[in-house]
Amino acid sequence: MNLEQSIIATLAFFDVLEMPLKAPQVRQFLIDTEASLEATQKMLDDITREKKIECWFDYYSLVDKGRAFQSYQNERKRISAKFLAKIRRFRFLFAMTPYLRGAFIVNSLAFGNSDQGSDIDFLIVTKEKRLWLTRLWITILTQLLGVRRHGEKVAGRFCLSFFVSEEALNLEALSLKLAGHQDLPQDPYLMYWIRTVKPVIGAETYMKFQEANSWVKPYLPNLTSFRAETIFPRPKFARLIGRVTELILEITLLGSLLEKILQKTLKKHTLRKRDELRDKRGTVISDSVLKFHNQDWRQLVFDEWLDRLEKNLK
């Protein structure tokens, strides 16, 4: 793609998410094209004058979307800030969980695009061969504190539906493969998802995660600068509790025993639940990855993005 096409393709993708972008964000999120902020801004100005896109209060979007999206964005920024404050209050739960190596904010909140009905999605990274035990531990803690999503309690709750162990940080195998569109990024949502995760716990693990997913770089060449730090200060006392608990579990060999028991008992249950789903693409159950999404929206996002591309890249 040339720069103009890349800008329109990028705005088209975020149009699906109902999210306008400022110039630095457009440049950062550019698909398949490397460009400076100056070059991006100049092209934005040119194609805005040509009425191929529009600009409202420094936010760019496809034509006839900017004014409405701007009002959405103001409200979503407020809600996202409220959700981040909630994570700050309860981040100690992740820190005190043994074998938890990273807790990353993902999906709408990572984009700063949460609405009133959004939950708070996390990617949890665990120590190798401690996937099931870590999952149970953090699930119990968040349930006891009343912050976990379950049943009809969704909005503003922690969604713990994606776990990977340290040896499975590369998520390329989970990307969609769409026949007939080899000239386009096959799974743009996953690529943005990977590059926009926000680390709450586990700065070093976050850097390992980004390095393991360097296959995304050619598709999003401007979105490659990462800092080895969490978005909040580390809760030191809670982390000490987690380390001591982990040490006790390892010395007594309870960690290995509990992992084997949980894997044996819970894996059958989760596999049975997956078999009942109509769309199984959002569910992955293995010894290193647990992903529980009853519906995989990535295909729908791609199809809607493709529709906008066809209308705007004539």
The whole-number pLDDT of residue 300 equals 85
d(CA 200, CA 146): 19
Q: What amino acid is encoded at 172 in this protein?
A: E
Section 143-169 average pLDDT: 94
Q: Each residue of 1-12: pLDDT tens digit?
A: 899 999 999 999
3-state SS of the chain: helix, strand, coil percent to 5? Answer: 50, 15, 35
Least confident of 48-57, 104-113, 178-187, 288-297: 178-187
Q: Where are the domains of the chain?
A: 3-71, 77-301
Dihedral angle over CA of 147, 151, 155, 157, nearest 10: 20
- What mean pLDDT is reported for the chain? 90
Q: Each residue of 194-249: pLDDT tens digit?
A: 999 999 999 999 999 999 999 999 999 998 878 888 999 989 999 999 999 999 99
What one-character-per-residue DSSP string does 104-153 give? EE-HHHHHT---TT--EEEEEEE-TT-HHHHHHHHHHHHHHTT-B-BTTB
Q: What amino acid is encoded at 65 in this protein?
A: K
The whole-number pLDDT of residue 23 equals 95
pLDDT beyond 80 at 112: yes
> What is the CATH code of the structural domain delimited by 3-71?
1.10.10
d(CA 225, CA 82): 26
- Three-class SS state of 261: helix
Q: Each residue of 67-103: pLDDT tens digit?
A: 566 666 778 889 999 999 999 999 999 999 999 999 9
d(CA 89, CA 99): 21
Section 163-185 average pLDDT: 82
| Helix 3-16 and helix 37-49, axial crossing angle in degrees, nearest 10 | 80
Bridge partners, 103 (sequence order): 124, 201
The whole-number pLDDT of residue 65 equals 65
d(CA 109, CA 297): 16
